[in-house]
Amino acid sequence: MLAGWLLLASTILPLTLAAQTNTETDSLKNIIHTTSSDKEKATALSDLCWAYLSISIDSALHYGNLAVLASSQITDRKIEAQARNDYGTALLLKGSLDAALSELRKALEIRTVIKDYSGSASIRLKLGNCYYKAGKLDSAMQQFTSALSYYEKENKAFETAQVKGNIGSLYFTMGNYSKSIEYQSQSAELLESLNKIYELSNTLVNIGNTYLKKKDSSNAELHYQKAITSATTAGNKYAHSAALNNLSNIQIGRKEFTEAIKLAQESIELRASMGMEGELASGRTTLAIALNSTGNYQKALEELKLAQPFAESNGLTEQLISIYLQSAIAYGGIHQADSMQHYLGLYESTKNSFTENEMIKTSAELETRYQTARKDSVLEQNKADLRFRNLALAGISVLFVLSLAIAVLYYKQQKLRTNQQQMAQLNEQRMQISRELHDNIGSYLTFIKSSVEQLEPSVSTATTALHNIRQLTDETISELRKTVWLMNNPEVSVAEFNSKLQDYYKKIPKITVHPTGAHSELILGSTLSTQLFRIIQEAVNNAMKHAEAESVSIQLQNNMEAINLTIRDNGKGMVSKDGQIGSGLRNLRERVQEFSGKLEIFSRPNEGTSLQIQLPIKQLKQSV
């Protein structure tokens, strides 16, 4: 009984929201109705969305949608990013996770392109919450640690406190309660020192959750009462309703069912006033537990039937485990054996797929990633008086090891693709090789470059050779960074891939990488993203080297059925001899055919060449 309902205490409360006054919202509405500037109108709509987050989620959604529509009609991408950020936050609080992920990813794509690093970190915090609520703990931790690394580097105490609080809540869900208390306590200390009462009430709730899971109900109750006091002062209905819900859980454990029902109903009333559908499902399940305990089975079923559809449609596995169990109890109480057996079966199958041991194992792996991500890269220091011959030999050795490592990795990827268990081992090896490439080979290359730069002024007879080695080393470092990024991101969206492509070619004026269109949140596997990069490299190289093109454009798009890549140049075109094609195009065609794709070539002498590549998504899901 205890472990079943305590899972519902895992409520993450990450967002910085402050209560807004009617004067503030009225002022923003006045701007919307009086301004003639499209930019001012879009900004005011976005601000209204954010203002209503602490008043009415439905109103926030209304203004957020209008803000996105208005901002997409102007050229200021910073305003559009803010609008999508605010709208995505409202969708997150509403519990519409898929829609929230879509808007937040689009906002992150824009902020990455315009190099708004602070804004990007803020969006990663919200993306982490989306993944958390969807049960994708690995992805949530990646977003949180990325944001934390930035905030700690910039000495942003408040934002650091927020992210640490969320990481603590994530560890709670994983079952690592010691880590949870460690991070939550650090967060609470920072927030209290900054007098951030609104956010402090969130953190106090989550500390209470952890103590509750550890069966320390006295410490849990103490922190919930503190949270209610802080939340009442700051007007934080989110924390207030969560503390009431979890105090109800404590009273259930003490068999004080009348008090438990009262507290749960107060929590539901607060959550209903805010339109918090996800939290409402949790509150209704808590109330159903108390009602079942008093024998009021019919009323319990009414609450559970209201909670179940939302939990199922949004993949809230932890809530579903408790909903199925309580439904089985209620049907047993009214002597409907068939329904009871049905829900018991759902309870067992859902619970078995979400075991605590798996979460603890994931927690240990993610902690290792986090510690690695936090450390700054330390370059190995070597002596500055290496001779030219040793330097050249070292460079050749590094290039050989790099080529061998990449060849081994590619071979293993191809060999292990069809076996799920072996694929897990390959992912681990990929991360290992990635770290080795970054920490060891990357350090050697950087050292070689530095040493050449030191030797050049003093070695006049070898200036040309040294310059060539330095240029080769620069190119190898660039290639290494790209390879490590591809290997270190087993899940990368089309938008993220396109952004990386823009960074890769930004120093070459002749090459233009166009933005992606709709559906850019499609996830590419490591194998596909690597091959896609190679296809683009080969095509661009052919255009610049053989076609003598003055400009090359790259357009990557996808719909629900296929990924479409178009590469155009204004070069001298080409004419095939007896239907034969060169080795470069042959390599392209072979790479495309590996994914059951189609390559079409349109070219005329002196009129340029267009390559159109189509990769069917259905086949990609089967092969990646």
pLDDT per position as a tens digit, 525-581 = 777 777 788 888 888 888 887 888 889 999 988 887 888 899 999 988 876 655 566
pTM: 0.42
pLDDT for 363? 53
**What is the longest distance spanned by two Cα atoms in the chain?**
96
Q: What is the CA radius of gyration of the chain?
A: 28
| Whole-number Å distance between alpha carbons of 198 and 236 | 6
Least confident of 75-89, 489-503, 541-555: 489-503
pLDDT for 603? 87
pLDDT for 386? 46
In the three-class reduction of DSSP (H, G, I as helix; E, B as strand; rest coil), residue 600 is classed as: strand
| Whole-number Å distance between alpha carbons of 453 and 470 | 8
Strand 562-569 and strand 552-558: pairing? antiparallel
Confidence band (pLDDT; 50, 70, 90) for 5? very low
Confidence band (pLDDT; 50, 70, 90) for 228? very high
**Higher pLDDT residue, 244 or 24?**
244
Taking residues 465-471, report their average pLDDT. Answer: 64
pLDDT at residue 465 greater than cutoff 70: no
Taking residues 244-258, report their average pLDDT. Answer: 91
pLDDT for 296? 93
pLDDT for 55? 81
pLDDT at residue 517 greater than cutoff 90: no
518 contact partners, CB below 8 Å, separation of at least 6: 559
**Higher pLDDT residue, 445 or 39?**
39
> Could you tell me which of 41, 59, 60, 58 has the C-alpha nearest to residue 50?
60
Q: What is the mean pLDDT of the chain?
A: 78
3-state percent breakdown (helix, strand, coil) of the chain, nearest 5: 75, 5, 20
Confidence band (pLDDT; 50, 70, 90) for 433? low
pLDDT digits (tens, 9 = 90+) for 13-59: 444 444 455 677 888 888 888 988 999 999 999 999 988 887 888 89
pLDDT for 489? 63
pLDDT digits (tens, 9 = 90+) for 336-364: 988 898 888 888 888 877 655 455 545 54
Least confident of 61-70, 495-504, 615-624: 615-624
In the three-class reduction of DSSP (H, G, I as helix; E, B as strand; rest coil), residue 176 is classed as: coil
Confidence band (pLDDT; 50, 70, 90) for 247? very high
pLDDT for 569? 92
H helix count then E strand count, the chain: 27, 7
Taking residues 200-209, report their average pLDDT. Answer: 89
Residue 145 burial by Cβ neighbours in a 10 Å radius (0-12, 13-18, 19+): buried
H, E, C per residue of 22-81: HHHHHHHHHHHHHCCCHHHHHHHHHHHHHHHCCCCHHHHHHHHHHHHHHHCCCCCHHHHH
Strand 491-493 and strand 562-569: pairing? unpaired
What's the one-letter identity of residue 55?
I
Least confident of 325-329, 403-407, 541-545: 403-407
pLDDT for 544? 81
Taking residues 567-596, report their average pLDDT. Answer: 77
Specify whether the CB–CB gap between 33 and 347 falls below 8 A: no
The DSSP annotation for 302-359 comes to HHHHHHHHHHHHTT-HHHHHHHHHHHHHHHHHTT-HHHHHHHHHHHHHHHHTS-HHHH
pLDDT for 8? 26
pLDDT at residue 290 greater than cutoff 90: yes
pLDDT for 45? 92
pLDDT for 15? 46
pLDDT digits (tens, 9 = 90+) for 148-199: 999 899 999 998 998 898 888 888 888 889 899 999 999 999 999 999 999 8
